[in-house]
């Protein structure tokens, strides 16, 4: 990883932060996206202390806005003429239906449309690297969220786990279709399940639900992975030579895994791709 240029979204907390710390210690040149200023600065202090190569750089951006995604892509392009790895790590889950600035259901917007657009915008930079990798953090939660392509904005009904699962299904379908479109090029695309992680995912949904989150954590966290343990599959897909030729795959515990059939259906993947291009007003190069 020495001198490899890597962009990590959601790098200010959780497995994104743990991944960034480890990659910085291996000598990578890191561009770290985060949203909250205080959390970003705290994370960057730790990432900088671990760095053995070029100083890591913070790119503050709000991925709940397509303008924010475009601004992030521009910032990356201003700082480098190539990109070796794009790690789409940022994600959220919400207890109630909220909208992005662009009018999209927020979980779908942040977890799927943002990495879809960002990857497309950065694809020219990725193509300039000798062996570029696109890695997207999905989840086993996809098994609870079969996509309804006629209600991607979840206007008819909203259930937190189902909506989160749908966004993770979208991550896998995106990876499947992206890998198909990249066949014959030097770019690979894979996705992963990090495991059940001790993290803040799911917090920030109100005081009552935060207390429920913490109470559940007291019971279950002894059985969960730490952020450092959860980062291992991300690190494997980013750095290991063992997966240099793998593309279009879903991994768990650093091994290929089989997702639900609804997350790999090529017709669904193609339709989601077309809808995503329409919603983001962006066509892949």
Give catalytic status of residue 284 as yes or no: no
* 156-163: Cβ within 8 A, 24+ apart: 158/96, 158/97, 160/93, 160/94, 160/95, 160/96, 161/93, 163/93, 163/94, 163/97, 163/105, 163/107, 163/108
Structure tokens at 265: 């259906």
Considering 158, 164, 221, 250, which one is annotated as catalytic?
164
Cβ-in-10-Å burial (0-12, 13-18, 19+) of 155 comes to: exposed
Radius of gyration (C-alpha) of the chain in whole angstroms: 17
231 and 18 Cβ atoms separated by less than 8 Å: yes
List the alpha helices (DSSP H) in the chain.
14-25, 37-50, 66-79, 106-108, 114-127, 160-181, 207-220, 227-230, 232-239, 266-280
Alpha-carbon span 11 to 34, nearest angstrom: 6
Alpha-carbon span 91 to 194, nearest angstrom: 13
**Which are the catalytic amino acids?**
164
């Amino acid at each position: 990883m020495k001198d490899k240029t890597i962009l990590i979204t959601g790098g200010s907390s959780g497995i994104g932060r743990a991944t960034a710390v480890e990659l910085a210690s291996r000598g990578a040149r890191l561009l770290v996206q985060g949203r909250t200023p205080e959390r970003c600065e705290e994370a960057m202090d730790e990432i900088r202390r671990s760095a053995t190569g070029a100083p890591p750089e913070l790119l503050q951006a709000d991925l709940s806005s397509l303008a924010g995604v475009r601004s992030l892509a521009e910032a990356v392009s201003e700082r480098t003429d190539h990109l070796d790895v794009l790690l789409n790590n940022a994600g959220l889950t919400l207890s109630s239906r909220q909208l992005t600035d662009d009018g999209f259901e927020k979980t779908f917007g942040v977890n799927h449309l943002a990495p879809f657009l960002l990857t497309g915008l950065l694809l020219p930079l990725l193509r300039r690297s000798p062996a570029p990798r696109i890695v997207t953090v999905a989840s086993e939660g996809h098994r609870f969220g079969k996509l309804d392509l006629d209600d991607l904005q979840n206007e008819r009904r909203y259930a937190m786990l189902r909506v989160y699962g749908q966004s993770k299904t979208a991550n896998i379908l995106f990876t499947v279709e992206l890998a198909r479109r990249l066949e014959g090029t030097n770019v690979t695309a894979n996705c992963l399940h990090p495991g059940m992680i001790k993290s803040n995912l799911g917090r920030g949904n109100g005081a009552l639900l935060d207390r429920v989150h913490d109470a559940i954590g007291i019971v279950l966290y002894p059985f969960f992975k730490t952020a450092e343990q959860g980062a291992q599959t991300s690190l494997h897909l980013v750095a290991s030579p063992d997966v240099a030729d793998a593309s279009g795959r879903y991994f768990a515990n650093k091994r290929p895994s089989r997702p639900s059939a609804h997350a790999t259906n090529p017709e669904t993947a193609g339709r989601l791709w077309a809808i995503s291009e329409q919603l983001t007003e962006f066509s892949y190069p």
